[in-house]
């Protein structure tokens, strides 16, 4: 009996995207704990928080609304 999965030669790609202050803090914690073979992506309105984040990829959102500052925990700004 053969399995259709026997020909898989590449492992799964895992990406973790942290959004906002809490999500970006979670990324830093995971990276500090030594998790391997995971791509970490930080997404935030706050440019200073992104600069301090350990993620290899960073996405700044809401540049026109927050001008690089945080959203101040206001979910309406995030919408």
What pLDDT digit, counting tens, does each position of 51-77 carry?
Answer: 999 999 999 988 777 777 777 777 777
Q: How many domains does the chain divide into?
A: 1
Provide the whole-model pTM: 0.76
Q: Quote the distance between the C-alpha of residue 23 and its chain's center.
A: 7
What pLDDT digit, counting tens, does each position of 32-42 carry?
Answer: 999 999 999 99
Name the DSSP letter for residue 10. S
Residue 64 lies in a domain: yes
Residue 28 lies in a domain: yes
- Give, for 23, the enclosing helix (H) or strand (E): helix 20-32
Question: Which residue range is the domain that position 28 belongs to?
Answer: 14-78
Give me the CATH number covering residue 26. 3.40.50.1440
Residue 20 lies in a domain: yes
Which tokens in the block code for residue 21? 């202050």
Residue 2 lies in a domain: no
Residue 4 lies in a domain: no
């Amino acid at each position: 009996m053969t399995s259709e999965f026997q020909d898989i030669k590449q492992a799964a790609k895992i990406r973790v995207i942290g959004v906002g202050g809490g999500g970006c803090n979670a990324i830093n914690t995971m990276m500090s704990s030594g998790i391997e073979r995971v791509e970490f992506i930080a997404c935030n309105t706050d440019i200073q928080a992104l600069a301090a984040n350990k993620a290899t990829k960073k996405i700044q959102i809401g540049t026109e609304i927050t001008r690089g500052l945080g959203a101040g925990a206001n979910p309406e700004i995030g919408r």
